[in-house]
Amino acid sequence: MVRVLTAGHVNWDVTLRVDRLPEADCESVIRSQHRSGGGSAANVAAALANLSLDTGLIGSVGDDDNGLLASRELESVGVSLDGLRVVEGADTAVKYLLVDDEGEVAVLGNDGVNEAVTPADLDHDRIRDADHVHLTSQRPETAGAIAQTANEAGVSVSFDPGRRLCDRDYTDALAVADIVFANDQEIASLLEDEYVGSAFDDRIVVVKHGGDGAKVHTPDGSYVHPGFDVDTVDTAGAGDAFAAGFIATLLEQCEGESLTADDMSMPPVPTVSGVDIERALEFANACGALTASEEGARSAPTLSRVTEFLSTRF
């Protein structure tokens, strides 16, 4: 049994640091190369494990070397892979991330088998046993089946559909998601759909602004945090670390615990249904900022690192 179950892509990333993102008929210089695991579901799972939460994963890889490396890396940080499907004779999805000197990222890649999980492959008891389920980009029918199973069992659901939101129908998953994560472009796409009106009325919608922080809309009001100024190295995985920090803080508050140092002097802040949204937003922004200040999508900080970082802000 795990506290949080993430579902979606598991990739192998090749990060190429370049002097500038290439334009048509131009050439860029590769400064360095870095290889590590990637994929939003895997990134969030690893980030949650770094924050000391028992975490499991639903996803798929091939039986090639890249799949083995991705699996081993997740296991090394404590992510349960009971729900990871290994597809024989298939290639793991590989993404090539081009990162310029400002930390901005462009992505090239092949899909591989990172969407091999279908509704028929799901272990519904494992979904029901979790405290929370976090969905990322994947087959819409699989996301919908996971969300429906969790919802029927009273398990909270968050969803970060990602950049393919505009060309995929995630209505079933979004309909029951308690928390929806989106960036500025994705929220614009959501606003064009009929289910978003209710999303702002009866659930939490988190709009990520990258280095400019984030805004959270709730049934009781909206909250803004400007983010933290850091020297940006690589923004890949920062949004996933942000989501992990937000989820972890809410879950720990529900348990009556805290993800910040006991001796921090913090003023009272508004809450939603007994949950401190502003504290969760601040913690999430710290996780995102610290990830962006390091190389690679798997550079999410540990709990002690976030606590130390926040303690210097007061």
Q: Any idea what DSSP says for residue 298?
A: T
Give dist(CA 208, CA 211) in Å, integer. 9
SS3 content of the chain, % helix, strand, coil (to 5): 35, 25, 35
* Backbone phi and psi for residue 59, each to the nearest 5 degrees, phi listed first: -175, -170
Clarify whether 240 is annotated catalytic. Answer: yes
Give dist(CA 94, CA 12) in Å, integer. 5
Q: State the catalytic residue, choosing from 19, 240, 262, 263.
A: 240
CB 296 within 8 A of CB 234: yes
In one-letter notation, the amino acid at residue 95 is K
CB 103 within 8 A of CB 232: yes
Q: Is 314 exposed, middle or buried (0-12, 13-18, 19+ CB in 10 A)?
A: exposed
Q: Which residues contact 76 (CB under 8 A, 6 or more apart)?
A: none
In one-letter notation, the amino acid at residue 79 is V
List residues with catalytic annotation: 240
